[in-house]
Chains A and B, each alone.
Chain A
Amino acid sequence: MRGDLAKAFELANTQVFRRATLSKSYTDLIGRKLFLAILTIRGLGAFALITLGVMLNKFSVARSVMQPRVRHEISRAGVALLPMFLFIALALGFLVIGQTVSALAKVGATNYLGSTMVIVIVRELGPLLTAVLVLARVGTANVIELGTARALGEVEALEALGIDPVHYLIVPRVIGMALGIFALTVYLIIGALGSGYLFAFLQDVPMGPGDYFKQIAEALNWLDFALLALKTVAFGFFIAIVTCYHGLAQPLRLEDVSRVAVRAVTQGVIVCVLVDAVFIVLYLVT
């Protein structure tokens, strides 16, 4: 267990470089940053593969312990965030969709309403906004919890008890975040589309609710549902990997935890954008 982790973390054991003296030139600085980025990507990749391996190999290990932990993480990354997401959905509907509907109605382009809503809300804004909000709310907590646990020696204590830290600490968070982001995205999209129409209705846009939802339903196809599910699960998986990697792998001292949390959130946003870009290409290709 420790050996597997050590191999992954060794790849990104960047402490040597971080301790190096300050760069004397911009080329030194860029070179060092580039080298650190490559090491981090390798470390993250190895950590993701290890986590996937543990998820598959230990699927049925210690179910009586793991099932409550998975349920807790689903609740934390999903159910507990529902009130906040309902508010965000209302705000998104009022601020973005309502105005779009009104603008399209003014220029007589309401025929494009369905496809506009699907592209803006279902494909892009809904999943990405959900991912970034969950990253900020739960991802940060992940880094701090795991970093503190690591700094206080809880990871060593798990290993001493023959418990795989990746199985006990990481797998529930990955599952919880993947399912949580998927469910929250669905709620956010439904809530935003509903409140968007409400806002447009208040502005006397000449369109019945039946026409509005019919247009959206016609603009959706099976690929949107399939890629939405895949995309949100991918967001959840990668956010969990980035935050858990930084929480578990890097900080060994309490004073490092806050610094690493900031780094993890920054990298989490970058990963979200990259995953989103991959799915845009998929939408364009299919």
Chain B
Amino acid sequence: MSETTFQPAVIEMSAARIGALRDTLLTVIEGVNWSVASGEFWVVAGRQHSGKSDLLLHAGGLITPASGSCRVFGCETKNFGEAQIAERLRIGFVFAGGNLFNQLTIAENVALPLRYQRNAPLAEVARVVEELMELLELAPYADNTPANLSANWRQRAALARALVLQPELLLLDNPLGGLDGRHRHWLLKFLEQLWSGHKYFGGRPMTLVVTTDDLRVWRHPQRKYAVLEEKIFSVLGAWREVESARTPAAKELLAEPVETTI
């Protein structure tokens, strides 16, 4: 991925103070300096409640930093409004747990962005949604509402909804959280395909940022890593830097989970 390093930054944070979604007065991360180039795959790790989700919400332009700067595709997120809707639609966001619309079926959830933003004819929307749901193996659950699906399929439906507008940047908040082994394996493989350029999306490599509380499953020599600890965002770099990191958080996030038996 070295050829992509000279492209303009997709996400650029400079001295950004990250506030919490539920309490904007609370600072969860101080002074974030971070640059994500096009085509990169970033893994941001941190313990629970370390501010991973809030950081990702800032990166997606859904919250603006209390101070400092956050630019996405060169556009300051403080200025995100109706005029910058094109920039916003270049970002796909997959929330932890999916955050699907509970009143709509899975197919309606996936179709909504396409119908709202593109105002596409119903037949075309139905075709695109059907293809995407086939790709993500969601077709049998098209008419189910989110409450009737397991967390595994809800997460996959959320991914389909984020991908339906074919974003260039995909942000995933703890995507493996609550998934069983089979779904974890599928998702890791699928994200790898998106990163290297999935044929469904015209072979165009996607920029990915994921958050996690377990670094081991994301091990890859070409990915980049950052760690959140004690309100500090630290860019570690490649995997070998992660392994040699001495911080308690990095060690903990690399450690085997503690076995619990009754």
Query: What distance in Å separates the Cβ of B79 from its nearest Cβ neighbour in chain A?
Result: 9
| Chain B residues with CB under 8 A of A15 | 23
Q: Is the beta-carbon distance between A252 and B116 smaller than 8 angstroms?
A: no
Q: Is the beta-carbon distance between A163 and B62 smaller than 8 angstroms?
A: no
- A157 contacts B by Cβ under 8 Å: yes
Q: Is the beta-carbon distance between B101 and A157 smaller than 8 angstroms?
A: yes
- B97 contacts A by Cβ under 8 Å: yes
Cβ proximity bits A56-72 to B, threshold 8 Å, 1 near / 0 not:
00000011110000000
Query: What distance in Å separates the Cβ of B191 from its nearest Cβ neighbour in chain A?
Result: 18
- B107 contacts A by Cβ under 8 Å: no
Q: Which of B101, B116, B122 has the most CB of A within 10 A?
A: B116
- B70 contacts A by Cβ under 8 Å: no
Q: Is the beta-carbon distance between B101 and A154 smaller than 8 angstroms?
A: yes
- B139 contacts A by Cβ under 8 Å: no
**Bound form: Cα–Cα A64–B85 in Å:** 19
User: Size class of A's contact patch?
Assistant: 20 to 34
Q: Which of B97, B99, B115 has the most CB of A within 10 A?
A: B99
Across the interface, B62 reaches (CB within 8 A) one of A64, A154, A159, namely A159
**Bound form: Cα–Cα A145–B103 in Å:** 10
| Chain B residues with CB under 8 A of A187 | none
CB-CB contacts below 8 Å: A247-268 with B:
252-253
| A64-B81 contact, Cβ under 8 Å, with A154-B101, A157-B100, A162-B89 | no
Residue of B nearest to A158 (CB): B101
- Which DSSP category, helix, strand, loop or mixed, fits chain B's interface? loop
| Chain B residues with CB under 8 A of A253 | 22
- B17 contacts A by Cβ under 8 Å: no
Please tell me the number of chain B residues within 8 Å of chain A, measured between CB atoms. Answer: 35
Query: What distance in Å separates the Cβ of B59 from its nearest Cβ neighbour in chain A?
Result: 11
- A270 contacts B by Cβ under 8 Å: no
- A18 contacts B by Cβ under 8 Å: no
**Bound form: Cα–Cα A153–B64 in Å:** 17
- A280 contacts B by Cβ under 8 Å: no
| Chain B residues with CB under 8 A of A6 | 24
Query: What distance in Å separates the Cβ of A80 from its nearest Cβ neighbour in chain B?
Result: 16
CB-CB contacts below 8 Å: A208-262 with B:
252-253
Q: Is the beta-carbon distance between B88 and A162 smaller than 8 angstroms?
A: yes
**Bound form: Cα–Cα A168–B103 in Å:** 13
- B161 contacts A by Cβ under 8 Å: yes
Q: Is the beta-carbon distance between A163 and B99 smaller than 8 angstroms?
A: no
**Bound form: Cα–Cα A1–B116 in Å:** 16
- B117 contacts A by Cβ under 8 Å: yes
Across the interface, A161 reaches (CB within 8 A) one of B57, B63, B80, B113, namely B113
Q: Is the beta-carbon distance between B62 and A2 smaller than 8 angstroms?
A: yes
- B119 contacts A by Cβ under 8 Å: yes
Sample 20 A-B pairs with CB under 8 A, ordered by A number. A2-B63, A3-B64, A62-B117, A62-B119, A64-B115, A64-B119, A65-B115, A65-B116, A149-B101, A149-B102, A153-B95, A154-B99, A154-B101, A154-B102, A157-B99, A161-B161, A161-B165, A162-B88, A162-B116, A163-B113
Closest 8 CB pairs of A and B: A160-B93, A153-B99, A157-B99, A161-B113, A62-B116, A162-B88, A65-B116, A65-B115
